[in-house]
Structure 1
Amino acid sequence: MADYYTHFSCTLDVGNRANVEQALALYANSLPNEDGLTFPDGFRLEPQSDDSTELWIHDDGRGDVELLISFVLLCAETLFLEGRWGFEYALTASRPLLDGFGGGAHVVDLSDRSSLSWTSTSDWLAGVLAGGNGDA
């Protein structure tokens, strides 16, 4: 039996050190979602460095893209973040499988607190193979 993994590694600039501490508290004290998961169940979060305003967000082998987006939107609302933010992710498996590999990307509008756009490599590939032009 194969294991499936979602991998990502990205940063989120929260503007100042006070916001870094507040974001870390939001992460550590999150309430369970409808599936009973908290943010630490879906990804790891740590300061980029002692004096940085960026947070390093990365998977632990079982990354949860939806939890990551929920966290970033919560930070945007709580910390009054503006602009756009995005990340890429990879889908892998512990052994070669026909459906075991892929990936995608998401762009979030921090100002509007919404998911702006996303794409997946499997959707893109299916569209091109069906005669599309490859626009995602």
Structure 2
Amino acid sequence: MADYFTHFSCLLDVETHENALRALELYQNETADEDGFCLADGFSLLLSSEGSSELWIHDEAGGDPECVIAFVLKCAEAFSLSGLWGMEYANTCSRPRLDAFGGGAHLIDLGAGKSVGWTSTNEWLAGALEGDDPDA
């Protein structure tokens, strides 16, 4: 049996150490939805260093980039963040399996509070092999 993982490690600067502490509280106090799932189930969060305004967002043994994006958007709204922020992720597998490896990236406009772009290596490769422009 194969185990599938999504790995990532990125930073989010929330501009002040006080905001970083508040973001940690948001993460720790996130309530579960009706299915018992909360954003904190999809990633781990720490201060990047003592006194820092940067949050280290990462997975321990596999994570969910969609949870990261939802949390980043929540922080952007709570702390009036602006500018662009992005993350990359890797899909891996414990055994060699077809279509089990790849990755992607997301780009977020913090001020607008929305995703402005994303890519998946699996979808890019499939399109390129079918004749799509690989540079599009």
TM class by smaller structure: over 0.9
Assess, with a 3 A threshold, how the Cα gap between structure 1 residues 33 and 114 changes in structure 2: closer, same or farther. Answer: farther
Moved over 3 A (4+): none
Aligned equivalents of 2:11, 2:33: Cα separation in 1? 23
1:99 and 2:63 matched:
no
If the length of structure 1 is used for normalisation, what is the TM-score? 0.95
Q: Provide the aligned length of Structure 1 versus Structure 2.
A: 136
Post-superposition CA distance 1:31-88 (Å, at most 9, x none) = 2235422222110000010122111000112201111110000000011111110000
Aligned-residue sequence identity (percent) comes to 57
The match for 1:78 is 78
Task: Give, in angstroms, the shift of residue 130 of structure 1.
Answer: 1.0
1:115 and 2:94 matched:
no
Correspondences of 1:1-136 after superposition (within 5 Å): 1-33=1-33, 35-135=35-135
What letter matches 2:66 in structure 1? E
If the length of structure 2 is used for normalisation, what is the TM-score? 0.95
Task: Give, in angstroms, the shift of residue 21 of structure 1.
Answer: 0.6
SS at match of 1:21: helix
Higher mean alpha-carbon deviation, 24-33 vs 69-78, is at 24-33
Output the aligned Cα RMSD: 1.2
SS at match of 1:50: coil
